[in-house]
Structure 1
Amino acid sequence: MDVPGPHRFDYTAELDRVRVALGELAAEASRIVTAATAAVAGPDAGRADTAAVHAALQSLQVRSRKLDDELVVLLACQNPVAGDLQLVVACLRIATGVERMGELADHIAATADLRRPAPVVPAPLRPTITHLGRLCGDLADQLAAAIRKDDREAARQVEDADDQIDQIHRRLLATLTDSAWPHGIQSAVDLTLLSRYYERFGDQAVTAARRLAGIHPATNR
Protein backbone atom coordinates (compact mmCIF):
# COMPACT_ATOMS: atom_id res chain seq x y z
CA MET A 1 0.00 0.00 0.00
CA ASP A 2 1.31 3.43 -0.89
CA VAL A 3 2.01 5.66 2.11
CA PRO A 4 1.12 9.33 1.58
CA GLY A 5 4.15 11.61 1.83
CA PRO A 6 4.38 14.74 3.99
CA HIS A 7 3.13 16.89 1.11
CA ARG A 8 -0.03 14.82 0.92
CA PHE A 9 -0.59 15.05 4.66
CA ASP A 10 -0.23 18.85 4.47
CA TYR A 11 -2.83 18.96 1.72
CA THR A 12 -5.24 16.80 3.69
CA ALA A 13 -4.79 19.03 6.73
CA GLU A 14 -5.53 22.08 4.59
CA LEU A 15 -8.76 20.50 3.34
CA ASP A 16 -9.77 19.78 6.92
CA ARG A 17 -9.09 23.42 7.83
CA VAL A 18 -11.22 24.55 4.89
CA ARG A 19 -14.10 22.38 6.09
CA VAL A 20 -13.93 23.93 9.55
CA ALA A 21 -13.89 27.46 8.10
CA LEU A 22 -16.83 26.68 5.82
CA GLY A 23 -18.78 25.23 8.74
CA GLU A 24 -18.15 28.43 10.68
CA LEU A 25 -19.57 30.45 7.79
CA ALA A 26 -22.76 28.38 7.81
CA ALA A 27 -23.05 28.85 11.59
CA GLU A 28 -22.66 32.61 11.09
CA ALA A 29 -25.49 32.55 8.53
CA SER A 30 -27.61 30.94 11.25
CA ARG A 31 -26.80 33.73 13.68
CA ILE A 32 -27.58 36.38 11.06
CA VAL A 33 -31.01 34.98 10.20
CA THR A 34 -31.83 34.64 13.90
CA ALA A 35 -30.91 38.28 14.60
CA ALA A 36 -32.76 39.48 11.49
CA THR A 37 -35.88 37.60 12.56
CA ALA A 38 -35.78 39.26 15.96
CA ALA A 39 -35.66 42.63 14.19
CA VAL A 40 -38.87 42.00 12.25
CA ALA A 41 -40.86 39.81 14.65
CA GLY A 42 -39.27 39.99 18.09
CA PRO A 43 -40.40 41.95 21.15
CA ASP A 44 -38.61 45.08 19.89
CA ALA A 45 -39.92 44.86 16.32
CA GLY A 46 -39.92 48.33 14.80
CA ARG A 47 -37.28 49.56 17.26
CA ALA A 48 -34.51 46.97 16.94
CA ASP A 49 -31.09 48.15 15.77
CA THR A 50 -30.10 46.13 12.69
CA ALA A 51 -26.57 47.53 12.40
CA ALA A 52 -25.10 44.35 13.92
CA VAL A 53 -26.89 42.23 11.30
CA HIS A 54 -25.49 44.28 8.43
CA ALA A 55 -22.00 44.21 9.95
CA ALA A 56 -22.19 40.44 10.39
CA LEU A 57 -23.07 40.03 6.72
CA GLN A 58 -20.09 42.14 5.67
CA SER A 59 -17.81 39.99 7.85
CA LEU A 60 -19.27 36.80 6.37
CA GLN A 61 -18.72 38.11 2.84
CA VAL A 62 -15.08 38.98 3.55
CA ARG A 63 -14.43 35.56 5.08
CA SER A 64 -16.23 33.76 2.28
CA ARG A 65 -14.20 35.48 -0.42
CA LYS A 66 -10.96 34.86 1.46
CA LEU A 67 -11.89 31.17 1.60
CA ASP A 68 -12.62 31.23 -2.13
CA ASP A 69 -9.11 32.58 -2.76
CA GLU A 70 -7.57 29.86 -0.60
CA LEU A 71 -9.51 27.16 -2.44
CA VAL A 72 -8.38 28.50 -5.81
CA VAL A 73 -4.77 28.36 -4.59
CA LEU A 74 -5.32 24.73 -3.56
CA LEU A 75 -6.56 23.92 -7.04
CA ALA A 76 -3.69 25.78 -8.71
CA CYS A 77 -0.79 24.61 -6.55
CA GLN A 78 -1.73 21.03 -5.64
CA ASN A 79 -2.63 17.96 -7.61
CA PRO A 80 -5.89 16.82 -5.99
CA VAL A 81 -7.13 13.28 -6.52
CA ALA A 82 -10.68 12.79 -7.75
CA GLY A 83 -12.41 12.86 -4.36
CA ASP A 84 -10.44 15.86 -3.13
CA LEU A 85 -11.00 17.70 -6.40
CA GLN A 86 -14.73 17.20 -5.92
CA LEU A 87 -14.44 18.49 -2.37
CA VAL A 88 -12.55 21.65 -3.34
CA VAL A 89 -14.99 22.49 -6.15
CA ALA A 90 -17.96 21.71 -3.91
CA CYS A 91 -16.54 23.95 -1.17
CA LEU A 92 -16.24 26.82 -3.64
CA ARG A 93 -19.90 26.44 -4.55
CA ILE A 94 -21.01 25.89 -0.96
CA ALA A 95 -19.21 29.07 0.14
CA THR A 96 -21.13 31.00 -2.51
CA GLY A 97 -24.41 29.47 -1.32
CA VAL A 98 -23.72 30.25 2.33
CA GLU A 99 -22.85 33.82 1.41
CA ARG A 100 -26.19 34.05 -0.38
CA MET A 101 -27.92 32.74 2.76
CA GLY A 102 -26.38 35.60 4.70
CA GLU A 103 -27.52 38.10 2.08
CA LEU A 104 -31.09 36.80 2.21
CA ALA A 105 -31.08 37.09 6.00
CA ASP A 106 -29.79 40.65 5.65
CA HIS A 107 -32.71 41.42 3.31
CA ILE A 108 -35.01 40.46 6.18
CA ALA A 109 -33.32 42.98 8.46
CA ALA A 110 -33.40 45.59 5.69
CA THR A 111 -37.19 45.24 5.61
CA ALA A 112 -37.25 46.30 9.25
CA ASP A 113 -35.07 49.31 8.34
CA LEU A 114 -37.49 50.27 5.59
CA ARG A 115 -40.56 50.36 7.85
CA ARG A 116 -39.03 51.60 11.11
CA PRO A 117 -40.50 52.76 13.48
CA ALA A 118 -43.56 50.80 12.39
CA PRO A 119 -43.27 47.03 12.86
CA VAL A 120 -43.16 45.04 9.61
CA VAL A 121 -45.10 42.03 10.84
CA PRO A 122 -48.62 42.37 12.31
CA ALA A 123 -48.76 41.00 15.84
CA PRO A 124 -50.92 37.94 14.96
CA LEU A 125 -48.30 36.70 12.47
CA ARG A 126 -45.18 37.30 14.55
CA PRO A 127 -45.19 33.73 15.92
CA THR A 128 -45.27 32.40 12.34
CA ILE A 129 -42.32 34.55 11.24
CA THR A 130 -40.44 33.71 14.43
CA HIS A 131 -40.99 30.02 13.68
CA LEU A 132 -39.69 30.48 10.13
CA GLY A 133 -36.59 32.20 11.46
CA ARG A 134 -35.98 29.45 13.99
CA LEU A 135 -36.33 26.76 11.32
CA CYS A 136 -33.90 28.57 9.04
CA GLY A 137 -31.40 29.02 11.86
CA ASP A 138 -31.65 25.32 12.74
CA LEU A 139 -31.23 24.38 9.08
CA ALA A 140 -28.04 26.44 8.78
CA ASP A 141 -26.73 24.87 11.99
CA GLN A 142 -27.43 21.41 10.59
CA LEU A 143 -25.54 22.32 7.44
CA ALA A 144 -22.64 23.66 9.52
CA ALA A 145 -22.42 20.43 11.51
CA ALA A 146 -22.56 18.28 8.37
CA ILE A 147 -19.73 20.29 6.80
CA ARG A 148 -17.51 20.21 9.88
CA LYS A 149 -17.95 16.46 10.34
CA ASP A 150 -17.84 15.72 6.60
CA ASP A 151 -21.10 13.84 7.23
CA ARG A 152 -22.86 13.20 3.94
CA GLU A 153 -25.82 11.45 5.55
CA ALA A 154 -26.43 14.48 7.80
CA ALA A 155 -26.22 16.63 4.68
CA ARG A 156 -28.99 14.59 3.08
CA GLN A 157 -31.20 15.19 6.12
CA VAL A 158 -31.04 18.97 5.56
CA GLU A 159 -33.41 18.58 2.62
CA ASP A 160 -36.00 16.85 4.81
CA ALA A 161 -35.79 19.66 7.38
CA ASP A 162 -36.45 22.26 4.67
CA ASP A 163 -39.88 20.76 3.97
CA GLN A 164 -41.35 22.55 7.01
CA ILE A 165 -40.15 25.91 5.72
CA ASP A 166 -41.77 25.28 2.34
CA GLN A 167 -45.06 24.29 3.98
CA ILE A 168 -45.21 27.41 6.15
CA HIS A 169 -44.29 29.56 3.14
CA ARG A 170 -47.22 28.15 1.15
CA ARG A 171 -49.68 28.57 4.03
CA LEU A 172 -48.54 32.14 4.62
CA LEU A 173 -48.96 33.06 0.96
CA ALA A 174 -52.48 31.64 1.05
CA THR A 175 -53.25 33.84 4.07
CA LEU A 176 -51.83 36.95 2.43
CA THR A 177 -53.84 36.51 -0.77
CA ASP A 178 -57.09 35.75 1.01
CA SER A 179 -59.77 38.39 0.41
CA ALA A 180 -60.26 38.58 4.19
CA TRP A 181 -56.69 39.78 4.80
CA PRO A 182 -57.19 42.73 7.21
CA HIS A 183 -53.78 44.45 7.29
CA GLY A 184 -53.59 46.22 3.94
CA ILE A 185 -51.67 45.80 0.69
CA GLN A 186 -48.33 47.15 1.92
CA SER A 187 -48.26 44.67 4.78
CA ALA A 188 -49.15 41.83 2.42
CA VAL A 189 -46.31 42.82 0.07
CA ASP A 190 -43.80 43.05 2.93
CA LEU A 191 -44.78 39.66 4.30
CA THR A 192 -44.70 38.07 0.86
CA LEU A 193 -41.12 39.25 0.44
CA LEU A 194 -40.15 38.14 3.96
CA SER A 195 -41.62 34.70 3.43
CA ARG A 196 -39.78 34.43 0.13
CA TYR A 197 -36.47 35.37 1.76
CA TYR A 198 -36.89 32.58 4.31
CA GLU A 199 -37.92 30.09 1.64
CA ARG A 200 -34.90 30.98 -0.50
CA PHE A 201 -32.62 30.78 2.54
CA GLY A 202 -33.80 27.20 3.03
CA ASP A 203 -33.34 26.41 -0.66
CA GLN A 204 -29.75 27.66 -0.57
CA ALA A 205 -29.03 25.48 2.46
CA VAL A 206 -30.48 22.46 0.66
CA THR A 207 -28.41 23.14 -2.45
CA ALA A 208 -25.25 23.42 -0.36
CA ALA A 209 -26.08 20.20 1.47
CA ARG A 210 -26.67 18.38 -1.82
CA ARG A 211 -23.25 19.46 -3.03
CA LEU A 212 -21.68 18.05 0.13
CA ALA A 213 -23.70 14.84 -0.03
CA GLY A 214 -22.65 14.28 -3.63
CA ILE A 215 -18.92 14.22 -2.92
CA HIS A 216 -17.23 10.83 -3.23
CA PRO A 217 -14.56 10.30 -0.57
CA ALA A 218 -10.96 10.29 -1.77
CA THR A 219 -9.52 6.80 -2.13
CA ASN A 220 -5.87 7.41 -1.30
CA ARG A 221 -5.80 9.40 1.91
Structure 2
Amino acid sequence: MKRRVAILISGRGSNMVALIEASKEEAFPAEIVVVISNRADAGGLEKAKSSGIATLTIESKPFGADRAAFEAVLQSALDEHRVDLICLGGFMRLLTAAFVQRWYGRMLNIHPSLLPSFPGLEPQAQALRAGVKISGATVHFVIPETDAGPILMQGAVAVRVDDTPETLGARILEIEHRIYPDALRLVASGQVRLEGDICKTTGSAGFDDTLISPASA
Protein backbone atom coordinates (compact mmCIF):
# COMPACT_ATOMS: atom_id res chain seq x y z
CA MET A 1 0.00 0.00 0.00
CA LYS A 2 1.33 3.42 -0.91
CA ARG A 3 2.21 5.80 1.90
CA ARG A 4 0.03 8.90 2.04
CA VAL A 5 2.03 12.14 1.87
CA ALA A 6 1.25 15.77 2.63
CA ILE A 7 3.48 18.52 1.28
CA LEU A 8 3.63 21.78 3.24
CA ILE A 9 4.54 24.90 1.26
CA SER A 10 4.66 28.67 1.58
CA GLY A 11 5.75 29.72 -1.91
CA ARG A 12 6.28 28.55 -5.46
CA GLY A 13 6.60 24.86 -4.60
CA SER A 14 9.35 23.81 -7.02
CA ASN A 15 10.32 20.81 -4.89
CA MET A 16 6.62 20.05 -4.49
CA VAL A 17 6.36 19.74 -8.29
CA ALA A 18 9.32 17.34 -8.36
CA LEU A 19 7.67 15.17 -5.72
CA ILE A 20 4.32 15.20 -7.51
CA GLU A 21 5.92 14.24 -10.82
CA ALA A 22 7.82 11.36 -9.21
CA SER A 23 4.66 10.12 -7.49
CA LYS A 24 2.96 9.69 -10.86
CA GLU A 25 5.14 6.64 -11.51
CA GLU A 26 3.08 3.53 -10.90
CA ALA A 27 5.88 1.89 -8.91
CA PHE A 28 6.48 4.93 -6.67
CA PRO A 29 5.70 3.83 -3.08
CA ALA A 30 3.98 7.06 -2.03
CA GLU A 31 1.09 9.21 -3.18
CA ILE A 32 0.67 12.95 -2.62
CA VAL A 33 -2.78 13.27 -1.08
CA VAL A 34 -2.77 16.96 -0.12
CA VAL A 35 -0.71 20.14 -0.45
CA ILE A 36 -1.14 22.56 2.45
CA SER A 37 0.02 26.17 2.44
CA ASN A 38 0.16 28.70 5.24
CA ARG A 39 -0.18 31.46 2.63
CA ALA A 40 -3.14 31.90 0.30
CA ASP A 41 -0.92 33.53 -2.32
CA ALA A 42 1.55 30.63 -2.55
CA GLY A 43 2.19 29.93 -6.22
CA GLY A 44 2.51 26.21 -5.56
CA LEU A 45 -1.21 25.89 -4.83
CA GLU A 46 -2.22 26.38 -8.45
CA LYS A 47 0.51 24.00 -9.60
CA ALA A 48 -0.81 21.33 -7.25
CA LYS A 49 -4.39 21.89 -8.37
CA SER A 50 -3.36 21.56 -12.02
CA SER A 51 -1.90 18.16 -11.16
CA GLY A 52 -5.14 17.04 -9.58
CA ILE A 53 -3.84 17.22 -6.01
CA ALA A 54 -6.12 18.39 -3.21
CA THR A 55 -5.02 21.72 -1.73
CA LEU A 56 -5.73 23.51 1.50
CA THR A 57 -4.78 26.91 2.89
CA ILE A 58 -4.37 27.42 6.62
CA GLU A 59 -3.31 31.03 6.99
CA SER A 60 -0.74 31.28 9.76
CA LYS A 61 -0.80 35.06 10.09
CA PRO A 62 -4.09 35.23 12.06
CA PHE A 63 -2.58 32.89 14.68
CA GLY A 64 0.28 35.30 15.35
CA ALA A 65 2.78 33.80 17.75
CA ASP A 66 0.40 31.01 18.81
CA ARG A 67 2.08 28.24 16.88
CA ALA A 68 0.31 25.50 18.84
CA ALA A 69 -3.11 26.79 17.80
CA PHE A 70 -2.04 26.86 14.15
CA GLU A 71 -0.67 23.34 14.43
CA ALA A 72 -3.89 22.06 15.97
CA VAL A 73 -5.73 23.06 12.81
CA LEU A 74 -2.92 21.66 10.68
CA GLN A 75 -2.98 18.35 12.55
CA SER A 76 -6.74 18.07 12.03
CA ALA A 77 -6.23 18.46 8.29
CA LEU A 78 -3.48 15.84 8.31
CA ASP A 79 -5.73 13.45 10.22
CA GLU A 80 -8.61 14.09 7.83
CA HIS A 81 -6.41 13.11 4.87
CA ARG A 82 -4.94 10.12 6.77
CA VAL A 83 -1.40 11.34 6.17
CA ASP A 84 1.51 9.00 6.88
CA LEU A 85 4.44 11.22 5.90
CA ILE A 86 5.07 14.97 5.62
CA CYS A 87 7.45 16.66 3.18
CA LEU A 88 8.31 20.30 3.82
CA GLY A 89 8.79 22.18 0.56
CA GLY A 90 9.78 25.73 1.35
CA PHE A 91 7.45 25.87 4.36
CA MET A 92 8.33 29.14 6.07
CA ARG A 93 6.70 28.55 9.43
CA LEU A 94 8.53 27.40 12.55
CA LEU A 95 7.02 24.29 14.09
CA THR A 96 6.81 23.58 17.81
CA ALA A 97 8.89 20.85 19.40
CA ALA A 98 5.69 19.00 20.32
CA PHE A 99 4.48 18.87 16.71
CA VAL A 100 7.90 17.86 15.41
CA GLN A 101 8.26 15.10 17.98
CA ARG A 102 4.81 13.79 17.12
CA TRP A 103 6.01 13.37 13.51
CA TYR A 104 9.55 12.25 14.31
CA GLY A 105 10.84 9.90 11.63
CA ARG A 106 7.90 10.78 9.38
CA MET A 107 8.65 14.39 8.40
CA LEU A 108 11.29 15.36 5.83
CA ASN A 109 12.83 18.67 4.85
CA ILE A 110 15.34 19.73 2.21
CA HIS A 111 18.02 22.40 2.67
CA PRO A 112 20.33 23.89 0.00
CA SER A 113 23.65 23.09 1.61
CA LEU A 114 25.64 20.07 2.65
CA LEU A 115 24.52 19.98 6.26
CA PRO A 116 25.72 20.32 8.94
CA SER A 117 27.53 23.13 7.10
CA PHE A 118 25.63 26.37 6.49
CA PRO A 119 22.26 25.89 8.17
CA GLY A 120 19.76 28.72 8.31
CA LEU A 121 19.28 31.59 5.90
CA GLU A 122 21.22 32.28 2.69
CA PRO A 123 23.26 29.06 2.73
CA GLN A 124 24.59 29.65 -0.81
CA ALA A 125 26.04 33.01 0.23
CA GLN A 126 27.44 31.38 3.37
CA ALA A 127 29.15 28.74 1.22
CA LEU A 128 30.72 31.32 -1.09
CA ARG A 129 31.97 33.43 1.83
CA ALA A 130 33.57 30.31 3.32
CA GLY A 131 35.31 29.53 0.01
CA VAL A 132 34.16 25.91 -0.16
CA LYS A 133 34.77 24.08 -3.43
CA ILE A 134 31.79 21.71 -3.18
CA SER A 135 28.25 22.54 -2.09
CA GLY A 136 24.88 20.88 -2.55
CA ALA A 137 21.59 19.93 -0.92
CA THR A 138 20.53 17.76 2.00
CA VAL A 139 17.31 15.86 2.73
CA HIS A 140 16.96 15.30 6.45
CA PHE A 141 14.45 14.24 9.05
CA VAL A 142 12.98 17.17 10.95
CA ILE A 143 13.82 17.69 14.63
CA PRO A 144 13.09 20.72 16.83
CA GLU A 145 16.47 22.29 16.01
CA THR A 146 16.53 24.05 12.63
CA ASP A 147 18.28 22.22 9.77
CA ALA A 148 19.74 19.70 12.21
CA GLY A 149 17.91 16.36 11.88
CA PRO A 150 19.35 12.99 10.82
CA ILE A 151 20.68 13.24 7.26
CA LEU A 152 18.91 10.97 4.77
CA MET A 153 20.38 11.96 1.42
CA GLN A 154 22.77 14.52 -0.05
CA GLY A 155 23.69 15.66 -3.54
CA ALA A 156 26.72 17.75 -4.44
CA VAL A 157 27.75 20.29 -7.06
CA ALA A 158 31.12 21.88 -7.73
CA VAL A 159 31.44 25.54 -6.81
CA ARG A 160 32.72 27.66 -9.70
CA VAL A 161 35.13 30.56 -9.30
CA ASP A 162 32.64 32.98 -10.83
CA ASP A 163 29.61 31.75 -8.90
CA THR A 164 27.15 34.09 -7.26
CA PRO A 165 24.59 32.97 -4.68
CA GLU A 166 22.04 32.96 -7.52
CA THR A 167 24.03 30.84 -9.98
CA LEU A 168 25.11 28.40 -7.28
CA GLY A 169 21.55 28.25 -5.97
CA ALA A 170 20.19 27.41 -9.42
CA ARG A 171 22.49 24.38 -9.76
CA ILE A 172 21.74 23.26 -6.23
CA LEU A 173 18.01 23.50 -6.97
CA GLU A 174 18.45 21.00 -9.81
CA ILE A 175 20.07 18.63 -7.32
CA GLU A 176 17.20 19.20 -4.87
CA HIS A 177 14.68 18.14 -7.51
CA ARG A 178 16.63 14.91 -8.03
CA ILE A 179 17.29 13.83 -4.46
CA TYR A 180 14.02 14.77 -2.71
CA PRO A 181 11.90 12.25 -4.65
CA ASP A 182 14.59 9.59 -4.19
CA ALA A 183 14.71 10.27 -0.45
CA LEU A 184 10.92 10.00 -0.18
CA ARG A 185 11.07 6.77 -2.16
CA LEU A 186 13.51 5.29 0.36
CA VAL A 187 11.39 6.27 3.36
CA ALA A 188 8.08 5.21 1.83
CA SER A 189 9.46 1.82 0.82
CA GLY A 190 10.78 1.10 4.31
CA GLN A 191 14.46 1.18 3.38
CA VAL A 192 15.40 3.67 6.08
CA ARG A 193 16.04 3.24 9.79
CA LEU A 194 17.10 5.74 12.43
CA GLU A 195 19.78 4.79 14.92
CA GLY A 196 19.94 7.71 17.31
CA ASP A 197 21.03 10.74 15.29
CA ILE A 198 22.15 8.62 12.33
CA CYS A 199 19.99 7.62 9.37
CA LYS A 200 20.89 4.35 7.65
CA THR A 201 19.49 2.85 4.47
CA THR A 202 19.09 -0.81 3.59
CA GLY A 203 19.18 -2.55 0.26
CA SER A 204 21.48 0.02 -1.35
CA ALA A 205 24.26 -1.13 -3.67
CA GLY A 206 27.76 0.02 -2.78
CA PHE A 207 29.42 2.68 -4.87
CA ASP A 208 32.76 4.44 -5.16
CA ASP A 209 31.82 7.72 -6.79
CA THR A 210 33.93 10.77 -6.02
CA LEU A 211 33.62 14.47 -6.71
CA ILE A 212 36.78 16.56 -6.67
CA SER A 213 36.68 20.30 -7.18
CA PRO A 214 38.62 21.95 -8.70
CA ALA A 215 39.44 19.03 -10.98
CA SER A 216 42.98 17.76 -10.54
CA ALA A 217 45.27 17.44 -13.52
Q: TM-score, normalised by structure 2?
A: 0.28
Higher strand fraction (1 or 2): 2
| Higher radius of gyration, 1 or 2 | 1
Higher helix fraction (1 or 2): 1
Q: TM-score, normalised by structure 1?
A: 0.27
